[in-house]
Amino acid sequence: MSENMHTKSLHTKRWGQEAVEAKGWWLAHKWLVLRRASQLGILAAFLAGPWFGLWLVKGNLNYSLTLNTLPLADPFILLQSLVTGHVPEKLAIIGVAIVVGFYLLVGGRVYCSWVCPVNLVTDAADSLRDRLGIKGGAHVSRHARYWILALTLLLAGITGTLAWELVNPVSMLHRGLIFGIGAAWMVVLAVFVLDLFVMHRGWCGHLCPVGACYGLIGKASPLRVVATKREACNDCMDCFAVCPEPLVIKAPLKDGAKGVGPVILASECTNCGRCIDVCSKDVFSFGSRFNNAASMAGVAQATPK
């Protein structure tokens, strides 16, 4: 009986529990809370107009005008439009330049974890998946998104229309929340169900071409998560469990002995900062990509083994 309870408590131990015990709730959730504030705040800014007549931002994530002065445009959709043979007007070009410039600096997939509304859906699916103990599912390469990205551009070229926009859950959800959702909730539900039952981190981590495009934009971004104190790692695996792109962590965290630097350089990393939260040993922190020497301490520690 007591053994049974013990295994049950083991099973229900969730990621970050150790971190809460070691650092307190706030430090174990800081980046998550900030991220949710960013996602919901951006959504609120878009909704203030249609809901309360407070027009801070007009448009949606494809293109928006903030305070009637700042244009912001999505590079992925404008790239598709360009492939169909249409050259946009000045405002859209300025908007794309600002957006691309921003994500070049902070990391392309910051869009995914700090802005995109679908992240709320897939994070919820992942959390529920963990609570329900759902394991396994379809195996699809995480490179599939780049193939799909190429496909969307090919489709734009062949059909001469923005074909992907007909089914794109990202723009459908954001536009739907602001302009009326219609049947788009079913597409969003499909993404939720995919991530819950079919594939772990299926949409954002394997398939979404919007994320793939932003990932490519941020390939050389200076702002990165760094396993600064990787020698303190106690192999609790919480960061792997919570990370939407766990493949990006392994080498910088574990391969110091092979001369791999501590900076998470993979462009798939969304800079969500959840690994920083859930680590009870404070191994991770935000830093710069340029400070990537495999530290002497790490090498010295590893060599005798």
Partner 1 sequence: MDSSKKSALAARRQFLLDSARMAGGVGMLGLGVGLYAKQAKALPPAAIRPPGAGTEQDFLGACIRCGMCVRDCPYNILFLAKPEQPIATGTPYFVSRTGPCEMCEDIPCVKACPTGALDHKLTDIAKSRMGLAVLIDKETCLNFLGLRCDVCYRVCPLIDKAITLELRHNERTGKHTIFEPVVHSDQCTGCGKCEKGCVLEVAAIKVYPVKLAKGELGQHYRIGWEEKQKAGGSLVAPEVEHQYNMPEGMRYEHGKGLSSGPAPTPGAGVDSLQVPNPGRNAAPAGNIPQNIPGGGLSSRMTDDAPR
Contacts with partner 1 by CB under 8 A lie at: 49, 55, 58-60, 62-65, 71, 73-74, 77-78, 81, 84-89, 91-92, 95, 140-141, 143-144, 147-148, 151, 154-156, 158-167, 171-172, 175-176, 178-184, 186-187
Total residues belonging to the chain: 305
Pick the closer one to partner 1 by CB: 7 or 69: 69
User: Cβ contacts of residue 81 below 8 Å, gap of 6+?
Assistant: 88, 156, 162
- Angle between helix axes 169-179 and 25-52 (nearest 10 degrees) is 60
- Residue 292 CB, shortest distance to partner 1, in Å, is 30
Report phi then psi at 53, rounded to 5.
Answer: 70, 15
Pick the closer one to partner 1 by CB: 63 or 103: 63
First to last CA, the chain: 42
Pick the closer one to partner 1 by CB: 75 or 107: 75
Q: Name the H helices within 62-220.
A: 75-83, 90-106, 110, 118-131, 144-159, 169-179, 184-193, 202, 209-217
- Residue 81 CB, shortest distance to partner 1, in Å, is 6
- Residue 148 CB, shortest distance to partner 1, in Å, is 6
Pick the closer one to partner 1 by CB: 111 or 164: 164
- Residue 119 CB, shortest distance to partner 1, in Å, is 20
The token pair that represents 239 in the structure block: 């960061």
Query: Are the beta carbons of 209 and 149 closer than 8 angstroms?
Result: yes
Pick the closer one to partner 1 by CB: 77 or 279: 77
- Residue 288 CB, shortest distance to partner 1, in Å, is 34
